[in-house]
Amino acid sequence: MSKLETVLLTGGAGYIGTHTAVEFLNAGVNVVIADDYSNSSPKAIERLEQLTGKQVVKYGVNMCDKAAVRRIFEENRLDAIVHFAGYKAVGESKALPIQYYRNNVDSALVVCELMQEFGVNQLVFSSSATVYGDSQNVPFEEDEPTSCTNPYGWTKLTIERILTDFVEANKEKTDVNKDVFINDLSVTLLRYFNPIGAHASGLIGEDPRGPANNLMPHVARVAVGVNDHLNVFGNDYPTKDGTCVRDYIHVVDLAKGHLLACQKATPGLHTYNLGTGKGYSVLEVVETFERVNGIRIPYVFAARRPGDVPESYANPARANKELGWRAEHSLEDMCRDVYNWQKNNPQGYGD
């Protein structure tokens, strides 16, 4: 593949995007960020610049706006794209499926079309363990059959499908595809498990707009007194303590997975689980958070949340072997870093 000098991070002002930008910048790669700030803050980019002492090139664009995105390709010589931009709330996707499909699928198509137009041959896509649906065949391996239980998940799986066809069509140049053919096209699908944690500096972290959907932002808001207790959804699952088990992964480990995926890219389609391989229950997360931070997290048991599977955790062996990637942070690290971020920024980026 060509030398990795400049990468475009779509959705680069978001939670995973900012942490990934830090890893690329620290590795000496130039970063271009495209973000419409619909679920993120421009301040997050200022923070990551402060943290790394480096500048990024920023575009406040919506990724479905092809003319605006084309300018990014015209103005920068991109070697690779990491496509994070997308809507990501499971519950909201059930109420707004058309908006989810339009936004998530359209933005991915815009990226593919511009890769064809400009001959950019490297893409990493932000996928999710949600593509394993309600399977209980844990730990999940990448060739586990895929399916989904909500429109958000289906947008991820649909984009995986599109990218699979994209790679297939670029294996051979023919009379039919010669005008859009991409030489040595490399696409990597990264299936994230449950990203939590924050950069150890406390300068960047997760800042969900409006009500939080996921476990850790709820725990963090209780920890700093924004909310008075946590609801634990279900305590009668067939798991070690009756609460659901997930594979929580430190966002910095996840971010490093993107850098390695770009550095080690080879032509073709590659799919990797990014998880630790260890499952922790909701109560174990709460207990760990309390222990490492010396703080109480009051909780009550509430009804099961529809769509939750009892257990989800990765077999990360393929990413270990092929990318040389391994999650290095413990659940203790994740809980400590979340609290550090939330204490320093009780209102997130504050805008």
The catalytic residue positions are: 152
Distance in Å, CB of 217 to ligand WQD, minimum: 8
CB-based contact 344:202 (threshold 8 Å)? yes
Kindly tell me which of 111 and 148 has the beta carbon lying closer to ligand WQD: 148
Nearer to ligand WQD by Cβ, of 121 and 155: the residue is 155
Residue (194 or 340) nearer to ligand WQD, CB? 194
**Which residue(s) pair with 299 in the sheet?**
230
CA distance 298 to 176: 62
CB of 264 to ligand WQD, least distance (A): 25
Name the residue number minimizing CB distance to ligand WQD.
Answer: 244
Q: Which is nearer to ligand WQD, 165 or 241 (CB)?
A: 241
Rounded Cα gap, residues 281 and 95, in angstroms: 28
Output the smallest distance, CB 9 to ligand WQD, in A. Answer: 16
3-state SS class at 135? coil
Q: What is the spatial distance between Cα 208 and Cα 214, in angstroms, rounded to a whole number?
A: 9
Query: Which residue has tokens 């309390």?
Result: 290
Residues that bind ligand WQD (CB under 6 A): 88, 90, 128, 130, 194, 213-215, 218, 230-233, 244, 246, 282, 305, 308
Amino acid occupying residue 130? T
Distance CA 282, CA 109 (A): 37
Closest separation in Å from C-beta 78 to ligand WQD: 25
Least distance from C-beta 137 to ligand WQD, angstroms? 16
Is 153 in a helix, a strand, or coil?
Answer: helix
Tell me the C-alpha distance between 348 and 351, whole Å.
Answer: 8
Nearest distance in Å: CB 73, ligand WQD:
27
Residue 268 near residue 167, CB atoms below 8 Å: yes
Indicate the pairing of strand 280-281 with strand 245-246.
antiparallel
What contacts 229, CB < 8 A, 6 or more positions away?
222, 298, 299, 300
Ramachandran assignment for 279, one of left (phi > 0), alpha (psi -120 to 50 degrees), beta (any other): beta
> Beta strand pairing status for 299-302 and 230-233?
parallel
d(CA 88, CA 100): 8
CB-nearer residue toward ligand WQD: 124 or 215: 215
Q: Which is nearer to ligand WQD, 90 or 252 (CB)?
A: 90
Nearer to ligand WQD, 204 or 232 (CB): 232
Structure tokens that stand for 155 in this block: 């947008």
Measured in degrees and rounded to the nearest 5, phi and psi for residue 217 equal: -60, -35
Residue 345 falls in which region: left (phi positive, over 0), alpha (psi -120 to 50) or beta: beta
CB of 262 to ligand WQD, least distance (A): 21
